[in-house]
Structure 1
Amino acid sequence: MTIEKHDLHHEFPEMADEIHELKTSNAHFAKLFDQYHNVDQQVRRIETGVENTSDEFLEQVKKERLNLKDQLFQMLKAIA
């Protein structure tokens, strides 16, 4: 099974400059970015079998990742 990459640079490659700008100039964005990265890593560990959890927990973590991505995207759109 191929595991897709969901880091922000793969999700929004056209916004690489905006991601960099906000990471360095906006503390709230940087905090959300770090949270997103950590949650994405957790999902990848579960999906690759490094961590074993219930399907319900995996779905919960994926929803958290999606919520963070939505928040980050809204901030990126605001400066694009």
Structure 2
Amino acid sequence: MLGETHSLVNDFPEHTDLIVSLLESDAVFAKDNKQYTAMDKEIRVLELNGDPIEDEAMHKLKHNRAELKDSLYQRLIAAKG
């Protein structure tokens, strides 16, 4: 949905406690989450403003966000196990 927030806590509410714990204890996870959150916000703003960039640039932003989200999720699963 347009303008929807894709934060880790929003998309993986079952892992909220682990996300909070990793944000406090893992500097790399926290840094990558900060970058992911910034990317998500940038995409959301662009979508709400009618995509004022080229389709290819938007696709690349979304692809990069998805790759970073996948990396963060994999670290969540590894930390859980």
16-25 or 46-55, which deviates more: 46-55
Q: Which runs of 5+ in 1 are unaligned?
A: none
In structure 2, what is the equivalent of residue 43 of structure 1? 43
Q: CA deviation at 1:3?
A: 2.8
- Counting matched residue pairs gives 80
* Deviation beyond 4 Å, 4+ runs, structure 1: none
Query: How far apart are the structure 1 equivalents of 2:39 and 2:2?
Result: 19
Per the normalisation by structure 2, the TM-score is 0.90
- Superposition RMSD on alpha carbons, in Å? 1.5
1:55 aligns with 2:70: no
Q: Deviations over 1:17-55 (max 9, x none)?
A: 010010000011001000000000010011101761111
Q: Which runs of 5+ in 2 are unaligned?
A: none
Q: How does 1:25-36 map to 2 (within 5 A)?
A: 25-36=25-36
1:22 aligns with 2:16: no
Q: CA deviation at 1:79?
A: 1.5
Per the normalisation by structure 1, the TM-score is 0.92
